[in-house]
Amino acid sequence: MTGESQKPGRLGQYRLFSLSGFEVKLDLSWLLLALLITWSLGAGVFPEEYPDLPRRVYAWMGIACAIGVFFSIVFHEFSHSMVARQFGLPIKGITLFIFGGVAEMEEEPPNPRSEFLMAAAGPLASFLLAFLFTEMESLAVAKGWPVSFVGVFDKLALINFVVAIFNLVPAFPLDGGRMLRAALWKWKNDMRVATHISSRIGSAFGLALMLLGGLSFFQGNFIGGMWWFLIGLFLRGAATASYQQLLLKEVLREKPVKDFMRRNPVTVAPSVTVQDWIDDYVYQHHFKMFPVVDGSGLLGCVSTNRIKQIPRAEWRDKTVGEVMDRVSDANSVPASTETTKLLSTMIRPNTASRFMVVEDGQLVGMISLKDLQELIALKLEIESPGK
């Protein structure tokens, strides 16, 4: 799979190693996948298919498969990344997470051909691995290696085969969906229409997986059912998000924050008391944050979050100047910043959704997530009638 700034789990990511310039990162959620593979094979499948081995051997076979899957995923994503590099597309790195792996692209492919080849490289890599593991299995049988080796090769061949086939489903953003998008893009000569169609299929496929997973769950296949349900949910979300991201980029293009900010913002003087600020500013204008400005210029900003930490009894005595935050990257942004960059900062958890726009140290406007969202919705409605 290849994706654009997709955010897998939030458990934390660790750099593992660098593979010819691509950083391989592990999202801790991947461990759940590893556990599931180890457990379902080691405790379920292997004891049934290869009876009479010591229990310890089954556990090792399960772990070996999880490690094999790890390297299979890295190889799959590495293949995407190498082709991307051939076309000059920057890849941030390869991240393994709960549903497999993703090669993180920094921008969309420049043309249908590059997208098609880049997408096709993944399933091709998985087919190659399936073939290699099948050969290893035959070799193990021929040479009379322990049956545990045969079992591990057999399952790794099967898993890679399933990964290749699953990724070929034409459901964006799966590899097959990207290949479909590239074909539609070439045919219709319109990337947005192509993305729209393939992400609709992706979303429908996600829904189908969720339904099948749910059905399977209620028929008693709890883990498998739940797993397919979650994969469906993830795909559905990713399909919708990719299309929205594309629309957003189209609307915002490379425009700076300055073009979208609100000019002439309401400001507050540092001498105003907290109580007056709340009564006359917050409750009047319904903003959570105000720039603090005096005769000499911008001093900082005061926000409702900060006030929550001050006892009510002190609101009449303290002034805004005493409780404000100084101007910093956390509350202000240069007017020339690209709007898409600010937007990706704003949607991160624990970041402010309202920023002061600053030029040459002076306040020139305000920009908020809510304003941006409304403006984007409006622009989409007016400028893209055929969505």
Find the binding residues for Zn ion in span 175-204 (CB under 5 A): 175
Under rule CB under 5 A, residue 1 binds Zn ion: yes
Distance of closest approach, residue 167 Cβ to Zn ion, in angstroms:
5
104 touches Zn ion (CB under 5 A): no
Residue tagged 């001093």 (tokens): 299
Q: Interface residues for Zn ion in 158-177 (CB under 5 A)?
A: 175
What interhelical angle do 112-143 and 147-168 show, nearest 10?
160
Bridge-based pairing of strands 354-359 and 325-326 is unpaired
Shortest distance, position 100 Cβ to Zn ion, whole Å = 8
d(CA 346, CA 357): 14
Using only the alpha carbons of the chain, give its radius of gyration. 27
Shortest Å, Cβ 234 to Zn ion: 14
Q: Which is nearer to Zn ion, 59 or 241 (CB)?
A: 241
Residue 300 bridge partners (DSSP): 292, 326
Cβ proximity to Zn ion, 1 vs 184, nearer residue: 1
Q: Residue 140 interacts with Zn ion (CB under 5 A)? A: no
Q: Which residue is nearest to Zn ion (CB)?
A: 122
Nearer to Zn ion, 60 or 166 (CB): 166
Q: How far apart are CA 118 and CA 86, in angstroms?
A: 9
Contact between 122 and Zn ion per CB under 5 A? yes
- Residue 100 lies near Zn ion (rule: CB under 5 A): no
From 17-25, 67-75, 121-129, 335-343, span contacting Zn ion (CB under 5 A): 121-129
- The least CB distance from residue 237 to Zn ion, in Å, is 17
From CA 356, how far away is CA 118, in angstroms rounded?
Answer: 41
d(CA 153, CA 311): 66
| Cα distance between residue 243 and residue 3, in whole Å | 12
Q: How far is the CB of 206 from Zn ion (least distance, A)?
A: 16
Evaluate whether 41 touches 61 at the Cβ level (below 8 Å). Answer: yes
Q: Which stretch binds Zn ion (CB under 5 A): 21-29, 115-123, 257-265, 303-311?
A: 115-123
Tokens of 371: 């304003």
Point out which residues bind Zn ion (CB under 5 A): 1, 122, 175
